[in-house]
Amino acid sequence: MASFGYALQGIREALLSEPHLRFHALATAAVVALGFWLRVPRHDWALLALAVGAVWTAELLNTAVETIIDLVSPDFHPLAGRAKDVAAGAVLLMALAAVVVGLLVLGPPLWAKALALSSQR
């Protein structure tokens, strides 16, 4: 049980200290709200949950990598910079993949809803 508490504390600390993670939290809230509004089916929720979870996981791992590098290499070192850049690249790649998933899942029903709303005018 204590392990869950430590894990939740780690997420909390990352949310408080990492602006990018707060952006991901806002994006997650927007995706969830849009999903409810569009009434996406259960299998689409699974895809959205996997995409959101993957982005959060990548961001948390990036935060852990950067924290460890700052601990062991407080002064600039090219390899430390490279490791941080690669970890950040992993987050970027996962975020782009999540955007694609979001467009594929939410795009068609959003487009249909927009057409329906525009035809009512």
Is 59 an active-site residue?
Answer: yes
- CA-based end-to-end distance of the chain: 55
Tell whether 6 is in a known binding site. Answer: yes
* Candidate list 24, 51, 59, 87, residue with the active-site label: 59
Tell whether 40 is in a known binding site. Answer: yes
| Helical spans, DSSP H, in 1-121 | 2-17, 19-38, 42-72, 78-119
Tell whether 38 is in a known binding site. Answer: yes
Tell whether 104 is in a known binding site. Answer: no
Tell whether 86 is in a known binding site. Answer: no
Tell whether 101 is in a known binding site. Answer: no
CA distances to 14, 36, 57, 66 from 92, in Å: 17, 26, 12, 15
Binding-site residues: 6, 18, 37-40, 59, 66, 84-85
The residues assigned a catalytic role are 59
Binding-site residues for ATP: 6, 18, 66, 84-85
